[in-house]
Structure 1
């Protein structure tokens, strides 16, 4: 027994050593792979087009990818020492995206492989818990499985543009309730567009695919550019869908058309005899032209369209029967006076219909062409107040304001008369399809336009110091351009006389973030409209939120610009039709920054008009070769929207 005890005692150290080694093995097994080891394994699945991996070589130079919020490895985004995003863009990467390994990174929320050389089918991203996915500008092919995005309830941004995907848009993608942005542009998606939830969707681009059928009603408020390049699509905002018509329906239409023609003949006869009747309310008898314009252009202002899109009317303003003859009141003493009957006898061309009412071009017998705007949403203002306000507007004199010439008052209807501007509006030149070979607006002209707008707006602020919204309806269709491309602001200072309910439903100022949040506007609200106008001028994109009525219309253009600036920088921001930019890119960048600062979501942090105008007036057509423009590309100048407070916007790769 004593010998056995001694033997056990002598072997005890060896036993303890073996036990310690076994314990260390167990601990190592339980610890598992670190984020660094997982990322290095993921890197091994990648190659580059030149056969190397130099873009990610620094992944071996530091033992850990993250130190708190600091990234140690290229393309790795960190938060509190955890890997939360990969931004491996413009690296010529190819090979297989090892989703299984990425799925073992518990904090991964954003993934971006923009502008690489990945090909093959869509990666199985459904295994990841992502909020943002960017796979644009690669070579992925084939159909995306219908359930590819099933269960990805936190996904907010999906960018798959300019690949070679085909087949239907996955139904699971359309079912993402928190989706903010979707870009499928430049693929070969086919069939119909599924319905998408609209609770949060602010950016949509389905252009240049092979989609067919009617655009869902839930997407009809997006701009037409979101759907361009799909020959088989129809419905708002594109042309109306054609439907098959039965023989019975054709017979009914022909009968109604015949009756309409007969009525038109009677009306035409009355046009030639209407000059002898008495009037207090001008009436347009040829409403067919207006109907055409409304059907074709919806709620656009008359300057939104090309002037040669609508043919001249052969009819005239005529007079309604009334014993009282009202007077045309002139507020500009420098102009030739004409009588109301001169205006009523003028040949009338329907120019279009805006949110306030219809507009007509009236060519007087003496020669000059005038624009007559009819307003029916000013019935709450009394005659004396209306006369006083119109007289105030008539006293304004500035080279960047379209002057008011005269006005006409009835309780139910008002007419405002101004000069006709043949060059149309900024919206017309930016967004109406040009003839083949016709050049777009170059950078010097766009700079000239925005400087003129800023000067006109500053003048209004000086002349109306006690008015909250000196303009209130600043948008590209209310910026007219003379033959020298000098801008003329119109529809300004109308907020005090427009019915409040109508103003809040239709005027641009009431689509601002502050009205959406607090039901109120401030002296900085016009600055927000100026910022949107700047972004529209630089990007060539129409602010689709202007088409939405009432409260809740988000600043979608500013959101898009912010996203692109954070993700792709200026390459995708500026309008490709803008010529003469090589020597002015730095100045364009400055104007982009100004636009972002004017579009700050929080009105307290937004620039005031004085600061915005000063910065705009400092801009030049050509860059200063000695100036460093790199700071203007930093995230310090990224537009800050309400959505930026969301958790997934806390790191740049998620936008």
Structure 2
């Protein structure tokens, strides 16, 4: 195979060209070798010529980028993406092997073409340093699962579905590809058990092995995470989430015996199997008769109860509709959105909680490559959204599913400048996908508490007050638009996001109510939101995180107000601060040592940067200034009244 690839690469250029000069881009040679090995009836690769350059002349399906970081000016761009989808290209696996000569390749897609041959003959290991996305679905590749793919340690997405792969899935796949987010092996001819190592892939968000000949019990970890649609079309797979119980005895009868058995005993073995089949048939007949008797008795009981009790209105059409998949888009949403588009998009897991797993997904346009630090554009980028994936919980009823979808529809109508909007949702019997606006500048919590190094620039007071007022308006809108029936139930500074315009936007409102079954209704839930918002205001005023230390932030504030501060004193402190800034001397109320010990070490985020008691500015005096300056914005607290002491 290696000699054949070398021959193809050498034959791509005349000898005179090789002797005179090298191509502008070092990646032109393997690309032209790929072209010469392909059947191209539609002339899709007509722009790939020896006289042109794949990067500067924009060959079809090719995207280039200079190496990073800080490449020298003389270094040429390198090919990063080869996307040739649905172009009627053909040829054997040797053509794909030619593309293995692109060392900087991070995205390869040849799906929906007519390539054939054994993928096991292709050495993908040369692409290991950079390849993250590999799509070879919808071709005619055959042979066993390519072992060299297991060397692609940075691979995020692998799609080999719709081919003719045989043999087993490598048992070590889960340990060799720890970064994998999606694995599609559907519609092949794979056999054997599902590897237990797949359950160890913590980042795996999408798995599809349907339409194969896999056997045995589905590992418990996979059954707990993925829906039944991931495993359907494998007649010999059993266990949850499939509605097919594992019968160990029948498995031994039909699956026993090795392939290398002694042929001298075939007649006896045939008679023994015949007797076993008769025995199984008799047992099944007896079981069938017993089941028929039970069904008849149950029908009689149902008829008796029906005559005795009043007939309830039928809900068959409603319940059957709840079992169907449903995609709903709201005003202003991406027109091309469907669940397939969503799953094809490049995703980065942002977090995984008890209620949902959150991803950042680039939809539409060309695919986007997910690097470790950020989403990097490669060609035409799609719209970036946030997707929250919620699994159906045990104990959910049809009514729960109906209520969940109704609430999701209501959430999609909420539109406010200080609320993160729900753009669309996808619902099925197994999961709910919620598509929200992507808010790029992080959360209020990160702005207040992260990156406390010496180069940190604290938030100005006007910025703090604006973010507080924005969040208050967003929460007030949500409480009003829901008619007082819904609440956030988990409002923190982490759920208040900051958009590109510097506006605060409340996220995850009523998300807990989408759980199936939902938490019990509580009339005081909105009051709890108001109390939680008061704690957020204390974070903004003091710069202290509720997670710092063991002191309750609301309790600390009440202690300070009760033992030392009063509104007049705070105002005098503010006036004194303004006097000092104007060149006039002023004082501030003294601070008791006992109270000072209960205060946060850093007020207004960087209070710890002040001098000690012997310096120009003591800790207690700085805290007085913080609360004094904050009084100038105190009227904003009346937007939503709150009580630090609890809920009334």
Question: Taking structure 2 as the reference length, what is the TM-score of the superposition?
Answer: 0.39
Of structures 1 and 2, the one scoring higher in RCO (CA 8 A, sep 6+) is 1
Question: Taking structure 1 as the reference length, what is the TM-score of the superposition?
Answer: 0.38
